[in-house]
Amino acid sequence: MTTPNPYAPPAAEVQDIFDSTAPVELADRGTRLAAFIIDSLIIFVMWYLPIMIAVIIGSTSGQDPSTELVLGGILIGTIGFGIWCWLTVRAVLANGQSIAKKMLGIKVVRSDGSPASLGRIFWLRNMVNGLLSIIPIYQLVDWLFIFGEPRQCLHDKLADTIVIRA
């Protein structure tokens, strides 16, 4: 039978429709801080810790720290970093959340409430902010901006984003 079923549901793909009239609830400052700390711990455990352990063990075992053990630690750390990147990009693409933001139920959106793109989050919130962090006082000023009424850090203002409850 090659005729389509007239009672079958439509097969069209539908994109999510953004409702700009729906109110958004800004994330608490403490929740944002907790997400930052958890994300930092995750990257530390997955990337830096294997390298540090290998270097410590390699240097205390009486061998040259550039032995196979250290290279193995660097390899494991690099694999951990790759896994972290993959998980983070998946989470940001899915809903504008890092791993910790997903755990804590907050997400990054545009200031009008529409979804933020991976490029906006990566380039404007992270890369531009990272480059500006070369300026000695910038990081402190960036963090202090969260105490303003819109609860936006300076990197949020640069990227035209807000952090809301998911």
Q: Look at 56 and 67; give whichever has higher pLDDT.
A: 56
pLDDT at position 109: 95
pLDDT at position 146: 93
Residues in the chain: 166
pLDDT at position 65: 58
pLDDT at position 100: 96
pLDDT at position 18: 63
**Would you give the DSSP letter of residue 25?**
-
DSSP-assigned beta bridge partners for residue 109: 115, 162
DSSP-assigned beta bridge partners for residue 26: 164
User: In this structure, what token pair is assigned to residue 6?
Assistant: 């007239």
Name the strand (E) or helix (H) holding 109. strand 106-110
User: In this structure, what token pair is assigned to residue 124?
Assistant: 């404007």
Chain centroid to CA 9: 37
Task: Output the CA–CA distances (angstroms, integers) from residue 56 to 61, 63, 69, 90, 153, in the order listed.
Answer: 9, 11, 10, 33, 37
Those residues whose C-beta lies under 8 Å from the C-beta of residue 95, and which sit 6 or more positions away, are: 102, 107, 115, 166
Give per-residue pLDDT as tens, 17-61: 666 667 789 999 999 999 999 999 999 999 999 988 888 887 776
Token pair 């540090």 is found at 52
pLDDT at position 66: 62
- Place 64 in a pLDDT band, splitting at 50, 70 and 90: low
pLDDT at position 96: 93
Q: Residue ranges of the domains in the chain? A: 29-165
Amino acid in the structure at residue 106 = I
- Place 67 in a pLDDT band, splitting at 50, 70 and 90: confident
Task: State what percent of residues in the chain have pLDDT above 90.
Answer: 65
pLDDT at position 31: 96
Taking the whole predicted model, whether its pTM rises above 0.85 is answered as no
User: In this structure, what token pair is assigned to residue 63?
Assistant: 């061998």
Q: Look at 151 and 55; give whichever has higher pLDDT.
A: 151
pLDDT at position 88: 93
Task: Tell me what the pLDDT averaged over the chain comes to.
Answer: 88
Q: CA angle 148-100-156, nearest 5°?
A: 30
Sign of the alpha-carbon torsion through 27, 32, 33, 35? positive
